[in-house]
Structure 1
Amino acid sequence: MRQVFPSREIASQVHIFIYAYLSTNFKLYNRLALLLFLIQIKIKHIREMALRVICLMSRFNARGVTTACRSMSSKANSKNIGFIGLGNMGGPMASNLMKGGHKLHVFDVSKEAAGKMKAQGATVYDKTSDLAGKSDFVITMLPNNDIVWKTYEEMTANGVNENTVFIDSSTIDPNVAQQVQKLVKAKGGRFVDAPVSGGVPGAVNATLTFMVGGTESEYECVKTILVDMGKRITHCGSYGMGQAAKLCNNMLLGISMIGVSEAMNLAIRLGLDPKVFSDIVNSSTGRCWSSEVYNPVPGVTPTAPANKGYAGGFSTELITKDLGLASGIATSSNTPIPMGAMAHQIYRTLKSRGYGSKDFSVIYEFLKNEKNN
């Protein structure tokens, strides 16, 4: 019969080794890491001795023990995660996954974006299919319907591992999300749509909201990964429902940004100080994300793109695309969206005037220079 536990002599030797190791000049973290490793192995005597030693280690302060334990826990839950699309949103999201202890496999058409992640320790791939083959989860964060569909076609062309879960956090048509799910399923994998809200600040600070479309079990599965990038993960229903929620939300966002920009512009022209008026709005019934977190007037909200020449953030081109998608699904569902349609037309005009690469809050800059004729 195979011996399950070590002899007393072996246990004694290990006991002596542990104490000898602790008495050396190794750093606190390394010594504690050894003990935590010994705790995890399936040898009862060694595990108990390691626990006993930790309890006796009065020289270890609580902060040091906590830091090491968190690190070990993070490594224990580490996954191989593929990330495709490392732009303004995808880059920070991927970084937060690495901070969560996961091993990242990345791809981006921009060598510069991929290089930034490589510098943080990620593995860069030239082919998405190779990336998928090394990943437990694959997250895509891409600009539009066509790029998402093409990426999944190429990535799954030769089949995928049956245990790989694909998560699309792009903002696309719900019908396209459903088609991608069928494609991935036919190739042997699993897929959920999980678009996000919260903008670049949410991506950087890991406070995004995820809207997940898929089965209950798939939702519970991907939630374990998404929590490293967001603070709220909501199950919206079946495939495509995450995208439906996102498009409705972004339609409201576009409408509200135009409304805030109009109100701020009018208040300033009437002689009100923009900061004073903003404070009034944000403590009154007009309060919203566009006024409080993302105010479009330079000098009002320090972290908003308005203070950086409207660079970065959520581009006018993308909000125009999302409003177009919202208009499309409104038409197909025979739903009137008069304000949404008007917002779409305004942003189309803004894009045609050369503001496409600017943050969508640049609508204020556009209105500021306009007059009623």
Structure 2
Amino acid sequence: MDTKLLISRQGSVVPYTTIEGPDAWTASDFPVLEDHMLHLTPDHVAELDAAVDAVLSSGKRLQDIDFADFTLPTLSDPLLEAGQEAQFGRGWALVRGVPVWRYSRQQQLAAYWILGLHWGRAVPQNAKGHLIGHIKDIGHDPKNPLTRLYATNAAQPWHNDGPADLVSLLCLSDAEEGGDSGWSSSISVHNEILRRAPHLAAVLAGPWFFDRKTEVPEGKKPFFEIPVFNYHKGYLSVNYSDNYYHLSQRHAEVPKLTAEHHEAMRLFNELASGPELSLRMVLRAGDVQLLSNHTCLHYRGAFRDSPAHTRHLLRLWLSPPNDRPLPECYAEIMAGSVAPGKRGGIIIQGAAPNIPEEAE
């Protein structure tokens, strides 16, 4: 049987079949993005203000705050629904109207932590243990292959953030020019590859080697193996970041990328970035983006700051308690566990989890 002609859905996916469902979307499904946002009302904002005040007057460290420390009488349910949409629906959600422009830095961090609690447990994003990351150009060299590009103003190619089930951004301020945010359905990319070049789907479901850059947990090699297309217990989960595959070639133990690997990356990037499958917007102050790392890819355009306009976003990596099953190979990128709610993050010995007020 030629399974490429069959159709399946998440929860009962048959490998190498076209997947239908809300996470297999195209750009034409969302002609007006504003129609698909959670727009905070004045009542929502008043509740968030009160919750931020309660959190900051609690005497607790922000990372120790939980639902018992605040209430959002009418906002909690819409936030929970946004998380469900990202996990089990189309794979993404947008929130507009967090009043970051009148918040202090501590208030901004507290508000974002409150939102994130509705979507999962925050996990460390780097070797410094940051639970809330700062996405900002701090002068790191983007031409250095070991640089993590979020600390530069360079474009970030299409990828997902593998060490977390969900990734979120809160925009504090935008750039003078550029810095658009794009995302696409990795499930639709999978489907289109099956239609155009089914032999490459098999390549993408085979061995791929991923570099850890400078963030190597104790006892681990500086690289690991994880496929791009992961079929497991009825789900397709996609993990992709081509610059990490290229960087892994510096290790003598890693097999060389073949012509088929390069062909697969070329087609994957072409499809993910194309207007048919990708959505794009410039995140403005107070906008929140929430994406599934298993069903969405994302991208950041190059940007230019000025004294009046400096691009600065906050980021959360989140581990919900009820996300999909993942194969054991994900333990390499998920801090040693694939158990929902317990997996995720970059864990480096001696780096205590913390929430910095500024980029570092």
TM-score, normalised with respect to structure 2: 0.22
TM-score, normalised with respect to structure 1: 0.22
Query: Rg bigger for which structure?
Result: 1
Which structure dedicates a bigger proportion of its chain to helix? Answer: 1
Higher RCO by CA contacts (8 Å cutoff, separation 6 or greater): 2
